[in-house]
Amino acid sequence: MLDYIIRRLAGTVPVLLAVSVFVFAFVHLLPGDPARMVAGPEASLEQVERTRAELWLDRPIWQQYVRYLDQMVHFELGQSIKTREPVSKLIAERFMPTFWLTVWSMVWAVIAGVGLGVLSGVRRGHWIDRAATVFAISGISFPSFWLGLLMIDLFSVRLGWLPTSGYGSWLSFVMPAFTLGSAVAAVMARFTRSAFVEVSAEDYVRTARSKGVPERGVIWTHTLRNALIPVITLTGLQFGFLLGGAIVVETVFAWPGLGRLLIDSVGFRDYPVIQAEILLFALEFVLINLLVDVLYGLVNPEIRLK
């Protein structure tokens, strides 16, 4: 197993290098002079030149890249053009709200999605299946800003149970996590259902019944464990996606997360922050994929032992 993890970890190195090249090139592909951009619009010519020297922009490109890599490894992400604060500090502040929002959204999404998926897989064609399908389709097609606004209107404005926005006590998580998680839950429900239906037709499920295993055992032991293998992949992908910051939901609920940071930075052309975020998203995806692979190995002995 350790062997397997090491192999997967080694596999992430080329991916991260490729991303770093892309992010590095990003600054050079932008229109205009990067030194002037960093120095700011009011900077004098000497200031621009000094910035150029500071940033090694006058050196050969490969030296710049090596320096850049070195900085990345030491988490020196530069300075925000907008606030003049270190980018690493900005990101660190915004990361935790997004992380916890993601975690709670996914908890809701997995419980609701897998639960509904299995329920409709077991009761294929039954009204429960149809109700779950309706829920799933609405979840996929219902825009999250609209769901968010409706919830604010009901629970905050009319009933006054939950705060309208902001990041604070667990109460502040309820609506954003529900809103964000529901869309994911809908996709998961559809996916789980089809995986479940597919596994139900497998020969070994028939074998289980031929042994006289009660339906409960057929579903939990024989069908679900196998059906969940593809669901793990989807969960990982969605998790990585949400960690990137949910721009719409964070905006609706005034959530101080990475999504809003990204929007603000793009609006202000705060390139060091954008660069750092892209790199962070790539890193997150790579780590989550690694986690998914490990989980895969745990569930599927064929991967673990081969």
**Residues in contact with another protein by the rule CB under 8 A:** 3, 7, 202-204, 206-214, 217, 221-222, 225-226, 229, 299-302, 305
Closest distance to another protein from the beta carbon of 82 (Å):
46
Give min distance, CB of 10 to another protein, in A: 8
- 3 state SS of 86: strand
Q: Which residue, 2 or 159, has its beta carbon nearer to another protein? A: 2
Residue 121 or 245 with smaller CB distance to another protein = 121
Provide the 3-class DSSP secondary structure of residue 79: strand
Give the list of residues 6+ apart from residue 64 with CB closer than 8 angstroms, or none: 24, 56, 57
Distance CA 271, CA 278 (A): 11
Query: Which amino acid makes up residue 233?
Result: T
Looking at the Cβ atoms of 146 and 204, the one nearer to another protein is 204
Q: Are 292 and 230 in contact (CB under 8 A)?
A: no
> In 10 A of CB 58, how many CB atoms?
12
Considering the complex, what minimum distance in angstroms separates the CB of residue 230 from another protein?
A: 13
Q: Please, what is the minimum distance in Å from the beta carbon of residue 12 to another protein?
A: 15
CB 306 to another protein: min, Å = 8
Minimum CB distance to another protein smaller for 138 or for 207: 207
Residue 201's contacts (CB-CB under 8 Å, 6 or more residues apart) are none
Q: Is the dihedral of CA 170, 175, 177, 181 positive or negative?
A: positive
For another protein, the closer CB: 138 or 221:
221
Amino acid 261 reads L
